[in-house]
Amino acid sequence: YYSVQLHPFPPTWVRPWLEPTYLLWKPGGRGYERPSYMTRTEKDKPELTPEQELALMTKEVNASDGFDIDFSSFRCVFNYHPTVLHSDQFADDDSETTEDFLKMLAQEALDVYNGRHVTEYELVKVVKANYHFACAIMFLITFQVKDPYDNMIKLFQTRVRQGKHITTHYVFCRPKPNQGVKYIGIKKVVKRDIEQVVKSHVPKDVNKQK
């Protein structure tokens, strides 16, 4: 049974969806395995305690809703992880790489957003994505779109809970907050375009009298 839930996105972000940060493994502890994405070592300064790392991770998650996390700051392993776009970690029958898979999710989320807001944003590419487990996998995807109003590239975010062959739940899709740019999403109407529309709706007088 496979269910794709395309719920209308709420106008504002519902914070209860935000997964609290918690520590999984400390360096040197039982069960600890250094993730491939981790770059920080015991030689890097400042040296942070696990408690300090947890506080820093919590701050970054809360500040960005989990979308923007600097994983180079950590040696501990938490419940939030970055995806590796060029890997095949989340590849499936319809995608060769994790990036392909995330692009598919982002496109479907953007389609729903465009339909609800009557906009025409075009997906350009996936920039990055984090994830955590939530009775499936919750993806936090940051991606670029082209705004047809000014043809500028702008950032969007989507939160998608996905379980392979089980469910795909699009929690929300939105312009990335606090970017200092306007999001319009429809083509700019200039004077000549309006004149053409008006002319096209004026009946032609085929029996014009001399």
- Concatenated DSSP letters of 44-62: SSSPPPHHHHHHHHHHHHH
Cα 108 → chain centroid = 11
DSSP classification of residue 165: T
pLDDT in tens, the chain (210 residues): 333 444 444 443 445 578 999 999 999 888 888 888 888 887 887 788 999 999 999 999 999 999 999 999 999 999 999 999 999 999 888 889 999 999 999 999 999 999 999 999 999 999 999 999 988 999 999 999 999 999 999 999 999 999 877 788 999 999 999 999 999 999 987 655 545 544 554 455 544 444
Phi, psi of 146 (to 5 degrees): -105, 125
Phi–psi pair at 116, nearest 5 degrees: -75, -35
Judged on CB neighbours under 10 Å (0-12, 13-18, 19+), 56 is middle
140 contacts 147 by C-beta, under 8 angstroms: no
pLDDT tens profile 123-161? 999 999 999 998 899 999 999 999 999 999 999 999 999
Instruction: Specify the pTM.
Output: 0.81
pLDDT tens per residue, range 4-27: 444 444 443 445 578 999 999 999
